[in-house]
Amino acid sequence: MDHLLSWGLIAVRDAQSLSNPALTAAMKGLSLLGTEYFYLALLPLLYWCVDKRRGIRIGVLVFLSCAVNLRLKLVFAQPRPYDLDPSLGMVAESGFGLPSGHAQTTTVLCGSASPLLRAPWGIVSAIVLPFLVGISRIYLGVHFPTDVIAGWAIGAAILGLDRLFGERIESFFSRLRDSLALALVAAVALGMNVLYMQDTSFSGAFFGLAGASIYARRGPSFSVSGSFFRRSLRYLFGMATMAIVYALPKLLLSGLEGGGPPLVRFLRYALLGGWVAAGAPRLFLKMGLAQPEPKAYSANEKEESVISK
């Protein structure tokens, strides 16, 4: 391990030997693609304006990936490059370094979103963006190359599991009663909290997003279709309301260290996820920013309809 860390320090120094203000600014910009704020901007866009089903699935994968990553960091407890050589730290991060959360989560996010893009852009984004984000983390001195490689590998493994079992799991949940489906979602969220009690934001967002999407099945469903102008208005208005839901509780709890106790933080992010999945879409329908989606009848409902005629 010491040999790998020594080699990693050399690699970081070599990368930073190319540094200049423009390159550093570009690397910091790329690094933002692996942050919470980027997820908060992109996931609602996918769910409200592109593909609801895929948007929920991508959100679930991203939040599960984050929980796994945080747990693995505790397991390996590996320092970051600037912990060993403070001169390498262009930015600072909390926690341990292995595996890279930015590399892992962008791999999951871009890989799972790639089917929404036309070929070859889907494949390009699934490969190029995670690669560039990983390189930016090495350049900024917050990760060793091995951290980034591990993040890419774990992210790819999560995508592989989703490819193998995702459709079956989604189909299984769609057939469950709402109460049972919600109980299973709560159990998964609890498991995420057990993995990493220090930060319950991802488990809360997962519970709010998945739980509210189950609740939303009872009411009128909104359609993501519409003109570019209507979708743009929907997204901009939705983000404005989401900013209030995100910022107001945070402002009220500003006096509490770390945003409050784990349960409070969980509830804050659950509210945010629930607003994205159910609250904002209901508002879109009332304001005419989205049209109701035609009801999809099950086979049994279609049979009953034919018989009644």
**Domain extent listing, the chain:** 1-171, 176-296
pLDDT by residue, tens only, the chain of 309 residues: 578 888 889 999 999 999 899 999 999 999 999 888 898 899 999 999 999 989 999 999 999 999 999 999 999 999 999 999 999 989 888 889 999 999 999 999 999 998 888 878 888 889 999 999 999 999 999 999 999 999 999 999 999 999 999 899 988 988 889 899 999 999 999 999 988 888 888 999 999 999 999 888 777 788 999 899 999 999 999 999 998 988 887 776 666 555 567 788 898 899 999 999 999 999 999 999 999 887 654 333 333 333 433
Q: How far is CA 63 from CA 2, 59, 105, 296, in A?
A: 32, 6, 9, 28
pLDDT confidence of residue 305: 35
pLDDT confidence of residue 296: 53
Can you tell me whether residue 217 is helix, strand or coil?
A: helix
Can you tell me whether residue 222 is helix, strand or coil?
A: strand
- CB-based contacts of 194: which residues, under 8 Å, 6+ apart? none
Euclidean distance between CA atoms 16 and 19, whole angstroms? 5
pLDDT confidence of residue 263: 82
Euclidean distance between CA atoms 36 and 40, whole angstroms? 6
Euclidean distance between CA atoms 284 and 291, whole angstroms? 8
pLDDT confidence of residue 199: 84
Positive/negative CA dihedral, 291, 293, 294, 295: negative
pLDDT confidence of residue 253: 66
pLDDT confidence of residue 260: 60
